[in-house]
Amino acid sequence: MPLTSQRAKPAVPFGGMYRLVDFALSNLANSNYLHMVVLTQYKSHSLDRHITKTWRMSPLLGNFVTPVPAQQRVGKRWYLGSADAIFQCLNIFDDERPDIVIVVGADHIYRMDFSQMVASHIESGAEATVAGIRQPIEYAKDFGVIDVDPARPNRIRAFLEKPTNAQGLPDSPQEILASMGNYVFDADALVEAVTRDAADETSKHDMGGDIVPYFVERDAAGFYDFKDNDVPGSTDRDRAYWRDVGTIDAYYEANKDLIAITPVFNLYNNEWPLFTGYTDLAPAKFVHAGPGRLGHAVDSIVSPGVLISGASAQGSILSPGAHLHSWATVTDSVLLDNVQVGRHAQVYRAILDKNVVVGERARIGMDAEEDRARGLTVTESGITVVPKGMVIS
């Protein structure tokens, strides 16, 4: 919140031209897995619209990406959790009859070749495989924590969902192995697991909290180390990059990662492209070049359709349709689609949602108390968030 006040998190724009869901779907498409369903529930309209308009596969070849909304197939209730979402959509398994199923979250930033994880899963003989990545131990409370069997490093010995007393790794006490929320399952084993889980009234019906521990208890859960995933075109700097953008600060920092001189996450890897839906916009335009009125942007991402008219942008992400008017300054900020920044306005360390209008000489991010008095969200680190469509005068 407030970026999710009117949309599901996977539909939140990111990096100028993308939505969060594009990263998961691009990874699957580049891995040549082209039968994809997106299970949706709350505030899903913009997500459904984006998938329907953007992610069009070839029906001639039988490939598809389709949103599947909650349908109350097993009773008059919505999804109770991620595992219940799969259970309520088992008709898809009947239709497609897969041997192996990949289950991923739709709100993380990373590149991953899932075919390598599937190959590891098959070789291990496990019924379920969980992808993991090293994270600082202080983040353990936000993740599922994986304990690998030292004698069998491709097997999970224990799995703790968001523990408050996690133990560090033997070779790095200040780190833990965190689940990425990416799983590979034998289809029959997954069907059996979610069916059993649905009958358990004590379960939270969660993939990480209930389904993975079920496989761990049966010694049937494998581990896949994300650092071993070699994506074509990746570099030593951006290999094994993964970010959970579940907070405003994490979302802001992940956007900033894109604009480093040598990006921590490289949008420009053409060997593993990121797909999205913007194809009909005019190029970005920079106008006015007089003293004190120079339209320019440095250390920034400037999307198609952006107009910088005698204004300045620095260290910022400017999404399609953003318009910066004369003498405005935008610094270290993320502007989503169609934001208007008026003359002499100042925007600093802020996230402006779609269609925000910043009036002439208005200030955002310059005074936290002033921003809070307007009803804006200001994080502890000082990031100001302006919700969709708000007019700031």
CATH 3.90.550.10 spans which residues of the chain?
9-257
pTM: 0.93
User: How many other C-beta atoms can be found within 10 angstroms of the C-beta atom of residue 158?
Assistant: 13
Q: Are 376 and 382 in contact (CB under 8 A)?
A: no
Instruction: Determine the pLDDT at residue 280.
Output: 83
Domain covering 285-392 in this structure, CATH number: 2.160.10.10
Instruction: Determine the pLDDT at residue 325.
Output: 97
CA distances from 378 to 7, 85, 249, 375 (A): 20, 34, 10, 9
* 3-class state of residue 89 by DSSP: coil
Listing DSSP states for 221-272 in one string gives EEEEEGGG---TT--TTTTT-EEE--SHHHHHHHHHHTTSSS-SS-TT-TTS
Tokens in use for 204? Answer: 């939270």
Instruction: Determine the pLDDT at residue 190.
Output: 98
Q: Are 315 and 334 in contact (CB under 8 A)?
A: no
Question: For strand 242-244 and strand 13-14, is the pairing parallel, antiparallel, or unpaired?
Answer: unpaired
Instruction: Determine the pLDDT at residue 76.
Output: 85
Instruction: Determine the pLDDT at residue 77.
Output: 87
Instruction: Determine the pLDDT at residue 151.
Output: 87
Over its length of 393 residues, how does the chain's per-residue pLDDT go in tens digits? 899 999 999 999 999 999 999 999 999 999 999 999 999 989 999 999 999 999 988 888 889 999 999 888 888 888 999 999 999 999 999 999 999 999 999 999 999 999 999 999 999 999 999 999 999 999 899 899 999 988 888 999 999 988 888 888 888 889 999 999 999 999 999 999 999 999 999 999 999 999 999 999 999 999 999 999 999 999 888 888 999 998 999 999 999 999 988 888 999 999 999 999 877 889 999 998 777 788 999 999 999 999 999 999 999 999 999 999 999 999 999 999 999 999 999 999 999 999 999 999 999 999 999 999 999 999 999 999 999 999 999
Q: Which helix (H) or strand (E) holds 193?
A: helix 187-198
Beta bridge partners of 284: none
CATH 2.160.10.10 spans which residues of the chain?
285-392
CA 100/CA 121 separation, integer angstroms: 10
> Which are the contacts of 109, defined by CB distance < 8 A and separation ≥ 6?
14, 20, 23, 241, 242, 243, 245, 254, 265
Instruction: Determine the pLDDT at residue 60.
Output: 84
Instruction: Determine the pLDDT at residue 377.
Output: 96
Return the CATH superfamily for domain 9-257. Spore Coat Polysaccharide Biosynthesis Protein SpsA; Chain A (3.90.550.10)
Instruction: Determine the pLDDT at residue 351.
Output: 98
